[in-house]
Chain A
Amino acid sequence: MEGALDLMRRMHPKHIDTSLTALMSLLPDYSSNLLSQVDQPLQVLRDMESGKEFILCDYNRDADSYRSPWSNKYHPPLEDGNLPSTELRELEIEANDVFSVYCDQYYEGGISSVYMWEDDNENYVKFIACFLIKKDGSSTGQGRRGCLQEGIWDAIHLIEVGAEEDGIAHYCLTSTVMLSLTTSDESKGEFTLSGSIRRQMNTDLSVAEGHLCNMGKMIEEMERKMRNSLDQVYFGKTREMVYTLRRPTKWCR
């Protein structure tokens, strides 16, 4: 298992799916373990009722069907698919509404979905929420500046919300961002940066402002940090590496 996870860290991010399938076929006994520890690129489906797209993940899946956050219906239809409680569904509806505005403001497009469910196994967890964003930033997708030949941003934010105690709840956020951006033209050739990072954040917050407000602020802060470290640290390190391989142009002229 350790070797398998190290392989996932070394293999090219564009090969996540192939690497994972290959590892699961070599280690069938660890399949579910691998699936839970390795995030995969997000897929979308169109809600047949509202016509809006929603994101698929393990958290809105029951058997081979996926629940849409817009109509609360399973696609393809499922007789007795799992549904959140009425109370939680209300919060889920509100979260989807608000989060799609958030998504618009930061992503100038993109698809968002929020799923919530009660966790019966863990006593100290009140409920779990998963906030998902998928953005196609390519010039043929929703890239406003049209500079990307290919541009993928998949964000997965999983939040465990603890039971309230004296008006305070514990929030545990695990976020993954997977991205890939390619620019390409004849004079410069093809330039691709791709990757994935995962981070965690734990905090206790007063629930006076409501769970949605707390979760939202955490996600916004986490996305800011992750975007920053991708830009500054991760891309920066690859740039540094290129500059140590060949001296920057000002040296050679």
Chain B
Amino acid sequence: MSEEDSQEPESELTEEQKTEIAKWFLLNSPSGEIQYVAKDIRSVLMDENVYNMAVSEAFPLYNKTHMISLEMPNRSGAVIVTSFGELNDNEYLDPRTAQVAKVNHIKQACTDVRPATDEELPSFYIEQFRCALDSELIKYVSEAYPKGACSVYCTNGKDAEPGSNFELTVVISAARHSPQNFCNGFWRSVWNIDFKDDTQLVELSGKIQVGAHYFEEGNVQLDANHECIDTTIFQSPEDSALSIANMIRHHETEYMASLEVSYSNLPDTTFKDLRRKLPVTRTLFPWNNTLQISLNREITKELGLGK
């Protein structure tokens, strides 16, 4: 009894440790599954204090990494929750409508909007480039993504005037959640666009991440990611927008094609390196004749012919 008593404090986790573990589960939830994971972790923890602490820290991070898009209450479209548009813990800029959305992270909902202040928006000069690119992207995204959201942020030099460098960031986020079919997935691309006035070049670097989770009587996940870079010349807002959108379209289409190739190589090449569909002999294994196999091995061993 006394031994058990002395072991107790050692095995007991501190509240801090429990919170960290709970946060780890929440942050590693697959796309669209954090609410389910939260429910599970709540039942495992059986400690509302720890649970509340963990969710309040994990949800904002998760929502930003997953770039979830939320409908704004005044029917003005969706706002994407990203670190690029983050003004404070629960306010996110929607550059397209020049509005600021108030976000309830744990409910994953937009509760209110207000017009953005002048300080929160880029200069007139930048806005021309941003807005032109946004219009081109909307066209592309609506063609390529059945349910995609996109946004263009100014991430550097927001108050720039002609003659200086600035940076825009394009976010494309598409997610599909169908829990009743045990299937969730996301596509996220982030394109960094560096407008360099000194060299008159525009440099693009993109990161694409794709994931899917299928978990009916099992747990299978796809993780794919790709990075690419490209360059074009600094032109008028409209011409820059057109060539940037075309480059994004080109790279993403190429990448989609390579995903299709990866999948079509699976059955006969890639998967075969793990396990063949049929034995090398191309006939089912001779289980009825295993005595022969054992004997053969014995003989090989005795004659020293083993591998």
Q: Which chain A residues in 216-253 approach chain B with CB under 8 Å?
A: 216-217, 220, 223-224, 227, 230-231, 234-235, 237-242, 244-249, 251-253
Cβ proximity bits B220-245 to A, threshold 8 Å, 1 near / 0 not? 11111111000000000000000000
Give the docked Cα–Cα distance between A213 and B284 (Å). Answer: 13
Residues of A near B262 (CB, < 8 A) are 183, 188, 191
Q: Does B266 contact A (CB under 8 A)?
A: yes
Q: Which partner residue on chain B sits nearest A182 by CB separation? A: B223
Q: Could you tell me the distance between the alpha carbons of A151 and B212 in the complex, rounded to whole angstroms?
A: 19
Is B293 a contact partner of A148 (Cβ separation < 8 A)? no
Please report the C-alpha to C-alpha distance between residue A106 and residue B284 in the assembled complex, in whole angstroms.
Answer: 10
**Residues of A contacting B186 with CB < 8 Å?**
245
A234: B residues at CB distance < 8 A: 214, 218, 220
Q: Which of B130-165 contact A (CB under 8 A)?
A: 143-148
- The CA of A41 and the CA of B24, in the complex, are separated in Å by 21
> A101: CB under 8 A from chain B?
yes
Among A4, A97, A196, A238, find the residue whose CB has the most chain B CB atoms closer than 10 A.
Answer: A238
Compute how far the CA of A148 lies from the CA of B270 in the bound complex, rounded to whole angstroms.
7
Is A2 at the interface (CB under 8 A from chain B)? yes
> Contact size class for A?
35 or more
State which of A18, A102, A138, A246 has its C-beta within 8 Å of the C-beta of B285. A102
B44 part of interface (Cβ distance < 8 Å): yes
Q: With an 8 A cutoff between CB atoms, is B265 at the interface?
A: yes
A235 touching B220 in the complex, CB below 8 Å, given contacts A3-B43, A145-B273, A248-B256:
yes
Whether B287 and A147, one on each chain, are in contact in the complex, defined by CB atoms closer than 8 angstroms, is no
Residues of A within 8 A of B220 (CB): 13, 193-197, 230, 234-235, 237-238
CB pair B214–A237 under 8 Å, yes or no, is yes
Q: Which of B30-38, B117-125, B194-202 contacts A (4 or more CB under 8 A)?
A: B30-38
A192 proximal to B (CB < 8 A): yes
A194/B221 in contact, CB under 8 A: yes
Contact B185 A105 (CB under 8 A): no
| Chain A residues within an 8 Å CB radius of B213 | 10, 238
B84 is an interface residue with CB less than 8 A from chain A: no
Q: Which of A23-31, A53-61, A66-74, A124-132 contacts B (4 or more CB under 8 A)?
A: A23-31
Asked whether A189 and B267 contact (CB < 8 A) given A12-B30, A98-B294, the answer is no
Say how far A179's CB is from chain B's closest CB, in angstroms.
6
> Could you jot down 30 A-B contacts, CB within 8 Å?
A6-B36, A7-B37, A10-B29, A11-B25, A11-B29, A18-B24, A25-B17, A27-B44, A98-B290, A101-B293, A102-B279, A105-B285, A108-B276, A137-B274, A145-B269, A148-B274, A192-B223, A195-B218, A196-B220, A198-B218, A209-B288, A213-B288, A216-B290, A227-B275, A231-B267, A237-B212, A241-B214, A242-B187, A246-B144, A252-B253
Given contacts A19-B25, A213-B287, 16 further A-B contacts (CB under 8 A): A4-B40, A8-B219, A9-B215, A11-B28, A22-B25, A25-B13, A26-B18, A138-B273, A181-B271, A189-B225, A191-B223, A195-B220, A224-B277, A234-B218, A247-B144, A248-B256
Interface positions of B (Cβ within 8 A of A): 11, 13, 17-18, 21, 24-25, 28-30, 33, 36-37, 39-45, 143-148, 174-176, 183-187, 208, 210, 212-215, 217-227, 249, 252-253, 255-263, 265-267, 269-281, 284-285, 287-288, 290, 293-294, 297
Interface residues in chain A, defined as those with a beta carbon under 8 Å from any beta carbon in chain B: 2-4, 6-13, 15, 18-19, 22-23, 25-28, 94, 97-98, 101-102, 104-108, 135, 137-138, 143-148, 151-153, 179, 181, 183, 187-198, 209, 212-213, 216-217, 220, 223-224, 227, 230-231, 234-235, 237-242, 244-249, 251-253
